[in-house]
Every structure is written in structure tokens, then in C-alpha cells.
């Protein structure tokens, strides 16, 4: 926003100086000024920037050669101003083509007026410096793209390693739970049955019965604790907001951005199914990735809470430093599809200063750990 305002103010100042130098407001001058300003605004939102820069240079060259006063330097200064903008927005190949075309046109204008040769020399030196600057900027952009690609590959490998680690851990916990259930659980069950048989065989001796009752109570408690441990091993990694906290922590570490994570009252007690955990993770992951790649934001705010109907609501927002119209790409569209498949809603919008992702996931049947027979 600040960059846009400063560019606009510089352009207005140059046009003001142009009119002041001309000494009068001719309709043709006003029309040319309006056309150039319109092209300037289209430059900020259009994908065809080279053609817009070429059109702007053509208008200013015609103004310099045929319309403005002979010694008016401001059409050339306006050409230089738009060329400076072009060094940031055009590729090196496009910028060279623009510079060469402008130099050819200025050279041809010497046929009409030889007194314009100082402007040709000045703008030749300017384009030499501008071309070097454009090459540096292009190299930097290429390096940034390469860095982002490598960083993306690094994150992908890290997520794959994390997924493999979690899968291996879950498989190991499942195996341990199965072994405990098959061995310790069955043996405790057999022990209880033998104690019952022994209780019947020993008759009604009060001392023996008290002792057997204590043994049966101890065996039952051990069996219940074993079953609880088995249920915990099977389910603890598949449910809960705690898994989301760990995922956000890892994303923050690998993305090198600061995540302001806020939880509202009641959200930490929610039991999530595996599908809900995965969708919530993917939404947060895509929100962080989107903030880093497209908004170049180093800080993201993530808020998790519950609605009045006890469903999960989430909010992901980051600052936007150079607001541009956005379209939902594959990542955002896929995020919306995932949420809607669970019966939730998702809204994505952009204000002047923030990019916001807001949504809801319904929790109709909360997961409850129930006891049961082996």
C-alpha cells in the first residue's frame, strides 16, 4: 500500500511539472495524462504488463516528439519513471526488448529534430544501468523461486518422514495393545475363572472366602486396568486437539514463521475422529503455506474454539502487505472440499490488510472411550 501511494505521488508530481512547463492546459495534454494514468493502474492488476508498458512508452514517445514543447524534459523523465517500474515487474528478456524499442524510436526521432540527441544519450546511459539492475532483480527472483521450491521439497520430505514415523509408532502401539490383550488379558480372565472354581470347591469357610474375594477383586482391577491401557494405546494417537498442537508446533519449526496459536474455552476437551483431525491439520497447513508463499507473511494467527452449538470453529489470518485480487487455487479449493465433506463450512476472503480463512467442522457424535469385555 505504501509503495503504491509513493508511486502514485511521484507520477502526479511529474505530470504536474509537465503541465507547469507547458504553461497551458490543452485538451490533448489532459487526454494523454488520463491515458497514461489509466495504464498505470492496469499495470498493478494485469498479467500483460509488457504490453501495457509498451503502450505507455509509445504514448510518451509520441508526446515527446510531436506534442510537447521542444525543450520539455518531462516526457523523457516519465519514460524513465515507467522504465524504473518495469525493472521490478518485467523479466530480463521483456525489459531488454522494451529498452531497445525505446532507443530505436528515440534514434528515429533525431530525423525530425537533431536537438533531441542529449535526451538520447541520457536515456542510453539510463537503460544501461537499468538493465543491470533488472538482471540482478531477475536473478534474485529466480533464486527466491528456487529457494521456495527447495523449501517446499524439504517440507514435503519432512511431512513424509513425520507421517512414516507416526504410522510406525501407531503400528507398534497397536501390536503392543494386541499382545497385551491376547496374553495378559486372557490370563487374567482365566485367573478369575479359576478363583471362582476354587471358591466353589472350598465351600463356605469365612476365612477362605474373604481371602478369595480379595484375590478376585485384585484380579478384576488388574483386568480393567489392562483393558483401559489397551484402549488408550489404540486410540490416543487418533483423537484429540493435542495432536493438532503437535502438528502446529512442527509446522512452525519447519516453515520458519511465527504462529500465534490461541485456544478458546472448551476446545481442548474435544475428542476428534481421525478424519476430523486430518482435515483440521490440512486446513491449518494450507493456511500457513498460503500465508508464506503468497502473502510473504512471517506471522500467522490461528484461533480454535467452539460455536454455540459446540461445533469446532477455526480462524486463520495473516497480514497482506501488497493486496492483489486472489483466486482459489488447488490448495484452497481442496481445503474447502475436505471441510464440506465433513458437513462443515469454509469462507475465504481478503480485506485491505488481512487474508482470512474462517470455517466450522460439526461435532455431532463426540468420541467416547467405553469399557467393554475383551
Count the neighbouring beta carbons within 10 Å of the beta carbon of residue 284: 23
Range of the domain at 214: 178-235
Same-domain status, 249 and 353: yes
Give CA 43 to chain center in angstroms: 25
- What gap in Å lies between CA 303 and CA 265, rounded to an integer? 11
In a domain, 355, yes or no: yes
The pair phi, psi for residue 40, each rounded to 5°, is -60, -45
Q: Which of 339, 341, 369 is closest to 357 using CA atoms?
A: 339
203 torsion bin: left (phi>0), alpha (psi -120 to 50), beta (else): left
Same domain for 249 and 231, yes or no, is: no
Question: How many whole angstroms separate alpha carbon 72 and alpha carbon 115?
Answer: 12
Query: How many whole angstroms separate alpha carbon 215 and alpha carbon 195?
Result: 8
Side-chain-facing half-sphere of 306: CA atoms under 13 Å: 15
Q: 323-333 in b/e burial notation, b at 16+ Cβ within 10 A? A: eeeeeeeebbe
Domain match, 210 and 289 both: no
- Report yes or no on 158 lying in a domain: no
What's the CA gap between 175 and 243, in Å, rounded? 21
Phi (first) and psi of residue 87, to 5 degrees: -60, -30
Helix residue ranges per DSSP H, 181-204: 186-201
Q: What global pTM score does this model have?
A: 0.44
Q: Pick from 235, 268, 302: which residue ends a domain?
A: 235
| Residue 74 sits in the same domain as residue 20 | yes
Query: Is 215 a domain residue?
Result: yes
Q: What is the maximal distance between C-alpha atoms in the chain? A: 130
Residues 218 and 259 in one domain: no
- Domain match, 230 and 296 both: no
- Say if residue 225 is in the same domain as residue 284: no
Q: Tens digits of per-residue pLDDT, 20-46?
A: 888 777 888 889 999 998 888 888 778
Q: Could you give phi then psi for residue 228, rounded to 5 degrees?
A: -65, -40
In a structure prediction context, what are the per-residue pLDDT tens digits for the chain, which is 374 residues long?
567 788 888 888 998 888 888 877 788 888 999 999 888 888 877 888 899 999 999 998 888 888 887 778 888 899 999 999 889 888 888 999 999 988 888 888 777 777 777 778 888 888 899 989 989 988 888 898 888 888 878 877 877 777 777 777 777 777 776 667 666 766 777 777 777 777 777 665 555 667 777 777 777 777 777 766 666 665 544 445 666 677 677 766 666 677 888 888 777 777 777 778 778 878 887 887 777 766 566 788 889 888 888 888 999 988 877 667 777 777 788 888 889 988 899 988 888 788 899 999 988 644 333 333 33
Number of domains in the chain: 3
Q: Are the C-beta atoms of residues 135 and 92 closer than 8 Å to each other?
A: yes
Residues 92 and 204 in one domain: no
Taking only the tens place, the pLDDT of each residue in 348-372 is 888 878 889 999 998 864 433 333 3
Query: Which of 54, 80, 112 is the last residue in one of the domains?
Result: 112
Amino acid at each position: 500500500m505504501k509503495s503504491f501511494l509513493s508511486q502514485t505521488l511521484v507520477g502526479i508530481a511529474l505530470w504536474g511539472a509537465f503541465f507547469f512547463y507547458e504553461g497551458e492546459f490543452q485538451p490533448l495534454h489532459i487526454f494523454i495524462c488520463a491515458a497514461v494514468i489509466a495504464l498505470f493502474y492496469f499495470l498493478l492488476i494485469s498479467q500483460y504488463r509488457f504490453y501495457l508498458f509498451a503502450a505507455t512508452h509509445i504514448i510518451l514517445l509520441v508526446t515527446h516528439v510531436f506534442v510537447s514543447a521542444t525543450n520539455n524534459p518531462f516526457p523523457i523523465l516519465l519514460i524513465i519513471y515507467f522504465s524504473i517500474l518495469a525493472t521490478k515487474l518485467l523479466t530480463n528478456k521483456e525489459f531488454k526488448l522494451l529498452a531497445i524499442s525505446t532507443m530505436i524510436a528515440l534514434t528515429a526521432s533525431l530525423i525530425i529534430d537533431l536537438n533531441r540527441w542529449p535526451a538520447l544519450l541520457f536515456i542510453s546511459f539510463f537503460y544501461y544501468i537499468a538493465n543491470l539492475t533488472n538482471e540482478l532483480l531477475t536473478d534474485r527472483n529466480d533464486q527466491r523461486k528456487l529457494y521456495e521450491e527447495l523449501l517446499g521439497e524439504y517440507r514435503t520430505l519432512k511431512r513424509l518422514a513425520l507421517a512414516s514415523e507416526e504410522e510406525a509408532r501407531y503400528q507398534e502401539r497397536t501390536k503392543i495393545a494386541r499382545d497385551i490383550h491376547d496374553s495378559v488379558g486372557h490370563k487374567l480372565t482365566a485367573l478369575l475363572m479359576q478363583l471362582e472354581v476354587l471358591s466353589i470347591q472350598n465351600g463356605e469357610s469365612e476365612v477362605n472366602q474373604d481371602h478369595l474375594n480379595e484375590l478376585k477383586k485384585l484380579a478384576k482391577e488388574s483386568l480393567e486396568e489392562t483393558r483401559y491401557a489397551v484402549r488408550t494405546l489404540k486410540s490416543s494417537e487418533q483423537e484429540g486437539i493435542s495432536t493438532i498442537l503437535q502438528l502446529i508446533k512442527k509446522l512452525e519449526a519447519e516453515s520458519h514463521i511465527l504462529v500465534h496459536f490461541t485456544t478458546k474455552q472448551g476446545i481442548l476437551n474435544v475428542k476428534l475422529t481421525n478424519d476430523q483431525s486430518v482435515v483440521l491439520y490440512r486446513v491449518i497447513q494450507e493456511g500457513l503455506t498460503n500465508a508464506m508463499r503468497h502473502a510473504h507473511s512471517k506471522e500467522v494467527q490461528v484461533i480454535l474454539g467452539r460455536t454455540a452449538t459446540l461445533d469446532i470453529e477455526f480462524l486463520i489470518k495473516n497480514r497482506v502487505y501488497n493486496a492483489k485480487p486472489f483466486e482459489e487455487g488447488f490448495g484452497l479449493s481442496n481445503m474447502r472440499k475436505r471441510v464440506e465433506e465433513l458437513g462443515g463450512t469454509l469462507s475465504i476472503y481478503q480485506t485491505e490488510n488481512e487474508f482470512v480463512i474462517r470455517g466450522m467442522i460439526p461435532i455431532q457424535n463426540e468420541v467416547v472411550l467405553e469399557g467393554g469385555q475383551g
